[in-house]
Structure 1
Amino acid sequence: MTAHKKHIAFPSTMEETLSVKPAPIALSEEKEQVNATPITLKSGDSFLIMDVCGDLLSSRQDMGLFRQGTRFLRTSNLFLEGKKCVSLSHQTSHMSNASHIDLTNVPLQLAPDTVLEQGVIHIDRFIELTQNALIHTCTITNFHTTNLALTLSLTLGADFCDLFEVRGFTRPQHGQQQTPVVTPDGVRLNYRGLDTVERTTTIQITPTTPFIQADQIDWQLDLQRGEPIELRIVFQMGESSQSTLDTASAATLWAEAAQPTITSNDPFFNRLLDRSSQDLMMLSTMTPYGYYPYAGIPWFNCPFGRDGLIAALEFLPLYPQVARGTLEFLAAYQGTKVDTFTDEEPGKILHEFRTGEMAAMREVPYIPYYGTVDATPLFLILFEAYMHWTGDQALLDRLWPNIEAAARWMITYGDRDGDSFLEYHRVASKGLDNQGWKDSWDSINHRDGRIAHSPIALCEVQGYAYAAYRATSYLARKVGRQDEAPFWDTRAETLQENFLQRFWWENEQSIYLALAEDKEPCEVVSSNAGQCLWTGILPDDKARQVVERIMQQDMSSGWGIRTLSSTAVRYNPLSYHNGSVWPHDTALIGSGCALYGEKQAASQLLKSLFDASQHFTDARLPELYCGFERREGYGPTRYPVACSPQAWAAGAIHILLLSLLGLHPNADSGHLTLHQPILPDWLTSLEINGMHVGNQRVHLKFTRQDDHTTVTFGRDNKVDIRIL
C-alpha cells in the first residue's frame, strides 16, 4: 500500500527554521542539458549513462542503467523542493565505475515573502556501479544562516527495454510490466519478458521515509546548519535466469596489477595517453577466458570480434593480458557448424555476441552472430603478434586447432570461388549487408554512387588475409609443423600477386575500394586503401604511392583520414562511413605509413588525432567525428551518436605512437629491435616503463634534439635492445 505524505515534527523554535510543504515535481522545469557530455560508468556487463547532475534525462534515449542488454532503470532524478538542482562539478574515478557529483539549489520560493538564494544547499551525490547494483549516497548540507526544512525527492521508473529497442528497433510484441511493489524501505519494479525471464529492479533506501510511492520517494529533511544528512539508495538488478555470458568487473584486478606507463614532456599528450589506458581498463570485462575489451558504450557494450581484436592489437605491447583473453574468448566461441540464421561456419570467428530478451527470442541473430569477413584473419594476425611479444608457447599449443580451423575457413568458406580473395555475401535474413569494418548499408559503392552488391571483396580484407597467411606459416613453425608452413606462404604469395593485378588503380595511384558482384571494381578513393599498408601486402613503390594519395586534401581532413574522398559522389562528412573520420582507421593507416618508413606522414596523423582529442571531454577520442575540413582555431564537429568511450578509438593513439618508435620484439630470443625510432617534432622526450617482452620488463627513454631521436635504457634491462 502506498504511503500518504504527512508532516513530520520540526524544531519547536520555528523562528530558526524555514519550512515549506513538499512541492510537486514539475517535469517541465528539468532544464535538461541535452548537449552536455554525459557521464558514463561501467562495471562488468553493467553500464550507466547519466547527465552531469546524476539524473537520467527523458530527452536522452541512451540514458539509463543497463545490464546484459536490458535497461533496468530509466528514471532516477533528484529534485529539491520540486526543482532540479544545479551542477557544480563532477569527477569520475580512475576505473570509471564511480562518480562524485556536486550539486546546489536553484533559488527557492519558500514563502510569499521569502526566497532561498541559490548556492546555500550542497548535495554531494556519490554514485557507484557494481556488476549487479547501482549505489547512490547523497549527503545534504545546509550552509544557510538558519536551519531549514526542505523536501528532497527522487523520481523512479524502469522500462526494461532491450538495448536494440533503445536504438530504435520496433518490436511487434513485448513482455509484461508487473505492478510495482511498494515496501517499507523502497520499491520493487518487475518485468516478465517473452523469454519468460523475470527482470527486477529493487530500490532500497536508508533511512526510510513514510513518503514512498511507486514512482517517487520523498524525504522531508530537517537540515541543521552545517550538519550533513546522508541518504543511501541501492538499485539492485536481478534476473530469474543466468545469462549465457558469465562476466565480472575487471576493475579490482586491474587495480592490483602494476601497469606499464608512457610519459612524455607534454602534459596534454600525457592526459590523452592516460585517458586511453583508463578507457581500455574500463571497457575490458573479465570473462571465464580472461579480459575482453568490449567495443563501446552505449550501443556496443558486448564482445565484438573485429573490435576486440583490433583494440587488443593496439594495446598489445603494454597489455598482453588483454590480447590473451581476447584470443581465448574468441577461440571458445569459434564457429563449428553451418547456421544460416547466424552466418556461422566452421572455423569462423564471431562478429557480435549479445544477451537480452531480443537475443533470447531470436529477434536478432547476435547469439552470437558471425557475419564478418575480417575477424577470422585478424584473429590469426593478433595471435602472431601476441607470440612475438610474449612467447606464450603453452597458449599456442593449446589453441593450435583453433588457429588451423580459422586458416582453413579462409581458403574454403572465405574464398568460395577459388580466386584467392576473401569475399562476403549475407546469408542470414536479419544479418548485415556489408560485413567489413564499414558495415553500414551504403558504405560500399561505385564511382557513380551505385550501391555495390555482393559478393564483395574489400581491399583491406585482402591485406588482412595476406598477413594472416604469413601469421599461420609462422605459428605452424612455432608449433612444430614446419612441413605445413610453405603451404601458407604460398597462399600469401598467390594472394599478393592477384591483389596487385586486380586491385591496383593506376589512374589514382591507389587501390580500388573493393571488387563487387561480377568482380566489378569499386572505383572510389577510400581509407580502406590506406589500411592495406599496415598488413604489408604492398611492395615498397606502390606503398609510397598509396601514402602520397591518402595524405592529399580530399582524404586528409586535418583531424585525420576521411573514410571516403571528399570528391566521391556519396561523400557526406556527416555520415557514418562515407566521409567521417574514425580515429582507429587513421591510426592503422598511420601505422602502415610508419611500417614503410613514411614516418613523417605517420607523425602528421598522430598530431591530427592528438589535436582532435583536446576538443573532447577528458581528451577522450570518440568512435568517430565528422569529416569537415579543419578550421584554424576550432575543433572537429561531433558525430551525435558516436560511442564514447570506444575501445579501438582508445587504442588509436598507442598503436600510432609505438609504430613511430619502430618496436619489433622477439620474446623467444629476448630481443627488442627498434627500427628507425623517431619522436614527432612536437615532443622532446618520452619514457616507456614496465613494458613486457616475454617475462622481462623494459624501460626505454627517447629524447629528440633537432631531427634526431636517441634511445637510452636502464642498466637493469635483461632484454637485448637493438637499434637500427
Structure 2
Amino acid sequence: MRLAWRGPTMLVTDVRGELGRGVTSTGLWFRETRYLRTMRLLVNGRAPHLCALGGQDARTLDLVYVHPELEQFGGGGSGLARSEESLASDGLPHRSIDVRVSHAVQLDGLESRYVVANRSRRVARLVIDVALDCDWADIGDTIGDREAPVRIWARAVCDGSSLELRSTHPQLRYVTHVEAPGASAHQSGVRWTLELAPRDEVVLPLRVRAIDFEDALTGEGIAAREDALARWRASHVVVDTTGHGVEPLVIAAALEDLASLPLLEGRPREWLAPQAGLPIYPALFGRDALTTGWQASCVDGGAMLDAALARLGRLQCTRDDPRIDAQPGRIPQQVRRGPRARLGDGAFAVSYADVASPLMYVISLAQLFALRGDEALIRPHLDTARRILDWAHEQAQGGFLHYHTRSSDGPEHQGWKDSGGAMVHADGSSARSPIAACEIQGYWFAAQELLALVLWMLGRRGDARALWDSARDLKRRFHRAFWMEDESFYGLGIDREGRLLRSVTSNVGHCIASGIVAQPVIERVVERMFAPDLWSGWGFRTLSSAHPAYEPLSYHCGSVWSVESTTIALGLRRFGLDRRALQLADATLALASLYPGFRVPECVGGYAKDEMPHPGAYPRADLIQAWNVSAIPGLLHAMMGFFNVAPLDLLTIDPILPTCLDRVRVKGLRVGRGVIDLDVWRDRDGRSHFDVTRREGTLHVVRQPPPESISVGIAGRVRALVEGLLPS
C-alpha cells in the first residue's frame, strides 16, 4: 500500500494508487473514519495501466497511467516489433492516452488533479470516470483482510458537478462532499466526456471534503492550523551531515517525516501534538506522543512536547471508571475519534489503560524545563504532574508500582509491553497481574528524581527533598528485589504472587536510561544486554532468543523496536559507556537504511544480523511509527552529548560520532534564551570535536562528559573543559 497524510487526514491506496480493490484498509480517512472507500479511475470503461507511483512529500501521491494498454507484444519485449499503428477495441491507438494524477491530502479531505493528454495524431473521444463510494468505517475495523463488521450506508445527492454522500446512520451524520468542475455527478461517482485534438491535454480537478457532524473544520480553522504548522517547521534546527554511506539520507528523511507528524487537533496550543503512526494509529496515544516529543525536542525546541503535555494534561482523569481503567491522576493511553468512539464504545474512545504514560508525562515535563528554562511554560503542567505522583503513591503495593486492568476490554498488560503474553516467566508461562514491571519502577524513579530537581530550581526545597528521598529509597529496594546475580541482570517484573519474572528482556534498557540501575552493576548489565541472545545486530530483542517463549516475529517476545534503541543509547551515554553507544547508533542507522523511505516499521524481526540480511517486520506492523521517526533526531541528541541546563543558561556537549558519519553541522539549536550553530567532526583517530560557529544570547557552551559518567574522573573532566573552552 501507499500512504499520504496531513494532520487528521490520511490517504491509503493499493499498489495501483486506487481505493477499494481488495485491500480493506484503503480509503480516504479523516479522524479515523473512512470518508471514501472506493476511488477508481476508468478510461472508456477500463482501468488504465499504471506506469509510475510516487510522491513529492508526505502529503502527496503522484501517478502516471496509460490507455489503452497493449494486449499482444512482439519482438521479445513489452512493446511492438513493427511500425504499423495498433488500435484497441475503442478505436484509440495503444498507449496513446496518458493520465497524470496528483493527489494532495488536505486537513479536511483531498484535492486531486487529473491531466489527460492525447499523444496520438487522431482525435480522441474519451469518457473519464472516477468511481466513488464510502462507508464511514472505523479504522480499527479494517485491519487485516476482513470487511468492517458494521456498514454505514450512504445516500447520494447529485447536483450538476457535485456529489454529496450522506450517512443514513441516525447518530453518525457524516457527509462526504465531492466537487468535480466540468463533470456530471451520478450516484456512483463523477464523469467527464471529452474530445481531445491530437497532442491536446486537459486538466480535470476533483475536490473531496470530509464534513464531521460534530466538529467540521472551517476555512478559517484550516488556515490557522496551516500557518501554525508552517511557523513550527520554519523554526526547526537545520542538520547537515556528511558520511560515506546512506546514513546522511536516513537522517534527512527522518527530519522531513518528523515535520509531518502533528495531528493538528484540539485547542491551538495542542495542535502540534503528534499522531502515533500510520495507517493503524492516526490518533493521540499518550506515551507515543510524549516519547516522540522528547526525542524531537532538540529539533523543534520542545514545541511538539509542549503540545502533547497540554493536550494530555487537559484530558487527565478526575474520576474513577473501571470500564476504561480511569483513576484520578492518570493520563490517557489513547484518544480515538472514529465511529466506535462516537457511539460510546469504551474500548475505542478515551482509555487510561497504561501506567507508563503518566510517569512519562512527569519525565517529559522535567526535560522540557531543562531545555527551555521557562517557569511560565511549565507552571500550568505542575499540578498535573503532582496529581500523577499522588496517584502512583496511592496505587503502590509493597513499595512498587503495579498495574492491573479493571476493564473487560482493556489490555491485560499496561507497562512498556502491553500485548497479551508479553510478560513471561523463565519457563515461558504467562505471568498474571497485578505485575510490577521493572521499567515502570524505572519511570517512577526518574519521574520523582527529575521533578525534585525542577522543584528545587523553582525554590520549593521541601517538596524537592521529599521526592528525592522517595526516589533514592525506591532505587535501593528495586535492586534488592529485581537483581539476578546469576544473570548479571534485572528481572522483568514481579507477579501477583510475589515471584520474580526471571526473563532477560530489553525492558532493562529502559531501567538503564531511567537511572534506577545500581551504579556498581551498570557495566555488567550493559555487557549482558549486548550478549548475542539479546543483541540481534540491529537492536535489542524484546526477549532473549534463548527463552522458551522467544518468537522473532512476535510483538513483544522477540521482535526489535527501534524506539528502544534511542532510549538505551541515551542511557549508555548518560553513564559514559560510549563504545557501546556508538555500536548501537551504527546499528540503528543501518537498520533504517533497509526500508523504503528509510522508515523503520513499528517493530522488526528478531533475526540475528548474521542469520538474515534483512530482519523483515512484525506482521501488519504500522508502516510509519512516530517514535521511530523521532528516534533518529533522538539518536543525534545522544551522539552530540547534549546536556541542557537552560535555567542556568548552560549547555554541555560531549560529542561522539559513529563511523558512518564524518561531520554534523547543526544550525539554530535553541536552549533557553540562546541560539547557536555547531560544527562537529570526527578526526582520523576517531575522536570528535566541535566548534560553535554562531551564538545568540547568553548561553554558555562547554565540553563536559555527562555528570553521571562512570568512565571519566576529575582529571578527564578538567581535560575536556580545557580542550573545549570556546571564545566568548
- Is residue 376 of structure 1 aligned with residue 343 of structure 2? no
Deviation of 1:440 (Å): 0.9
Q: What residue is the counterpart of 1:698 in the other structure?
A: 676
> Matches of residues 487-636 of structure 1 in structure 2 within 5 Å?
487-631=466-610, 634-636=613-615
User: Could you list the per-position Cα deviations for residues 217-258 of structure 1 after superposition, in whole angstroms to 9, with x for gaps in the alignment?
Assistant: 333322222221111111121133228999968554333323
Q: What residue is the counterpart of 1:10 in the other structure?
A: none
- 2-side partners of 1:79 and 1:597: how far apart? 62
Matching residue within 206, 211, 218 for 2:191: 218
- 2-side partners of 1:632 and 1:124: how far apart? 43
- 2-side partners of 1:493 and 1:518: how far apart? 26
> Matches of residues 150-169 of structure 1 in structure 2 within 5 Å?
150-167=126-143
Instruction: Name the stretch that deviates more: 289-298 or 637-646.
Output: 637-646
Q: What residue is the counterpart of 2:64 in the other structure?
A: 102
Gaps of 5+ in 2: 72-86, 705-728
Q: 1:687 to 1:171 in 2, by over 3 A?
A: closer
- Is residue 669 of structure 1 aligned with residue 632 of structure 2? no
Q: 1:52 to 1:145 in 2, by over 3 A?
A: farther
> Matches of residues 67-466 of structure 1 in structure 2 within 5 Å?
67-94=30-57, 96-105=58-67, 107=69, 110-111=87-88, 116-118=93-95, 120-167=96-143, 174=150, 176-193=152-169, 196-209=171-184, 212-242=185-215, 251-256=226-231, 257-266=234-243, 268-286=246-264, 287-288=266-267, 289-290=269-270, 291-319=272-300, 320-413=302-395, 415=396, 417=397, 419-466=398-445
- 1-side partners of 2:14 and 2:480: how far apart? 54
Overall identity of the aligned pairs, in %: 26
- 1-side partners of 2:436 and 2:3: how far apart? 38
- 1-side partners of 2:217 and 2:338: how far apart? 10
Give the counterpart letter for 2:18 in structure 1.
D
User: Could you list the per-position Cα deviations for residues 371-423 of structure 1 after superposition, in whole angstroms to 9, with x for gaps in the alignment?
Assistant: 1011111111111111111012102223221121111111113x1x2x22111
Matching residue within 62, 69, 78 for 2:25: 62
Give the counterpart letter for 2:294 in structure 1.
L
User: Could you list the per-position Cα deviations for residues 83-109 of structure 1 after superposition, in whole angstroms to 9, with x for gaps in the alignment?
Assistant: 433333344344x22233233335257
- 1-side partners of 2:304 and 2:533: how far apart? 36
- 2-side partners of 1:243 and 1:529: how far apart? 45
Deviation of 1:173 (Å): 8.3
Preserved contact between residue 342 and residue 366 of structure 1 (Cα < 8 Å): no
Aligned with 1:692: secondary structure? strand
- 2-side partners of 1:470 and 1:616: how far apart? 38
Preserved contact between residue 49 and residue 69 of structure 2 (Cα < 8 Å): no
- 2-side partners of 1:323 and 1:121: how far apart? 49
Give the counterpart letter for 2:367 in structure 1.
A
Q: 1:97 to 1:114 in 2, by over 3 A?
A: closer
Deviation of 1:716 (Å): 3.3
Instruction: Name the stretch that deviates more: 168-177 or 393-402.
Output: 168-177
Deviation of 1:364 (Å): 3.2
- 2-side partners of 1:92 and 1:252: how far apart? 23
Deviation of 1:644 (Å): 2.3
Q: 1:272 to 1:498 in 2, by over 3 A?
A: same
Gaps of 5+ in 1: 1-37
Preserved contact between residue 24 and residue 144 of structure 2 (Cα < 8 Å): no
Aligned with 2:350: secondary structure? coil
Instruction: Name the stretch that deviates more: 377-386 or 52-61.
Output: 52-61
Deviation of 1:637 (Å): 1.0
- 2-side partners of 1:243 and 1:304: how far apart? 22
Give the counterpart letter for 1:390 in structure 2.
R
Aligned with 2:682: secondary structure? strand
Q: CA RMSD in A?
A: 2.5
Q: What residue is the counterpart of 1:5 in the other structure?
A: none
- 2-side partners of 1:85 and 1:252: how far apart? 38
- 1-side partners of 2:6 and 2:438: how far apart? 37
Deviation of 1:111 (Å): 4.7
Deviation of 1:114 (Å): 6.4
Deviation of 1:537 (Å): 1.1
Instruction: Name the stretch that deviates more: 317-326 or 278-287.
Output: 278-287
User: Could you list the per-position Cα deviations for residues 279-332 of structure 1 after superposition, in whole angstroms to 9, with x for gaps in the alignment?
Assistant: 222121233133101100111111111111111111112221111111111111
- 1-side partners of 2:490 and 2:217: how far apart? 42
Q: What residue is the counterpart of 2:6 in the other structure?
A: 43
- 2-side partners of 1:504 and 1:611: how far apart? 33
- 1-side partners of 2:382 and 2:475: how far apart? 25
Deviation of 1:673 (Å): 0.5
- 1-side partners of 2:217 and 2:336: how far apart? 9
Preserved contact between residue 550 and residue 556 of structure 1 (Cα < 8 Å): yes
- 2-side partners of 1:340 and 1:377: how far apart? 20
Q: What residue is the counterpart of 1:688 in the other structure?
A: 666
Preserved contact between residue 176 and residue 211 of structure 2 (Cα < 8 Å): yes
Deviation of 1:172 (Å): 11
- 1-side partners of 2:579 and 2:641: how far apart? 13
Give the counterpart letter for 2:164 in structure 1.
R
Give the counterpart letter for 2:591 in structure 1.
A
- 2-side partners of 1:281 and 1:113: how far apart? 46
Instruction: Name the stretch that deviates more: 594-603 or 528-537.
Output: 594-603
Deviation of 1:548 (Å): 0.8
- 1-side partners of 2:667 and 2:262: how far apart? 22
- 1-side partners of 2:147 and 2:196: how far apart? 48
Preserved contact between residue 599 and residue 660 of structure 1 (Cα < 8 Å): no
Preserved contact between residue 296 and residue 633 of structure 2 (Cα < 8 Å): yes
Give the counterpart letter for 1:530 in structure 2.
G
Give the counterpart letter for 1:445 in structure 2.
V
Deviation of 1:570 (Å): 1.3
- 1-side partners of 2:2 and 2:660: how far apart? 32
Deviation of 1:135 (Å): 1.4
Give the counterpart letter for 1:563 in structure 2.
T
User: Could you list the per-position Cα deviations for residues 654-706 of structure 1 after superposition, in whole angstroms to 9, with x for gaps in the alignment?
Assistant: 2222212211011122111013x211122211111111111221211111112
Deviation of 1:365 (Å): 3.2
Q: How many residues align?
A: 678
- 2-side partners of 1:366 and 1:355: how far apart? 8
Aligned with 2:278: secondary structure? coil
Aligned with 1:484: secondary structure? helix
- 1-side partners of 2:216 and 2:20: how far apart? 28
TM-score (norm 1): 0.89
Preserved contact between residue 199 and residue 240 of structure 1 (Cα < 8 Å): yes
Aligned with 1:127: secondary structure? strand
Q: 1:111 to 1:345 in 2, by over 3 A?
A: closer
- 1-side partners of 2:195 and 2:92: how far apart? 18
Preserved contact between residue 193 and residue 357 of structure 1 (Cα < 8 Å): no
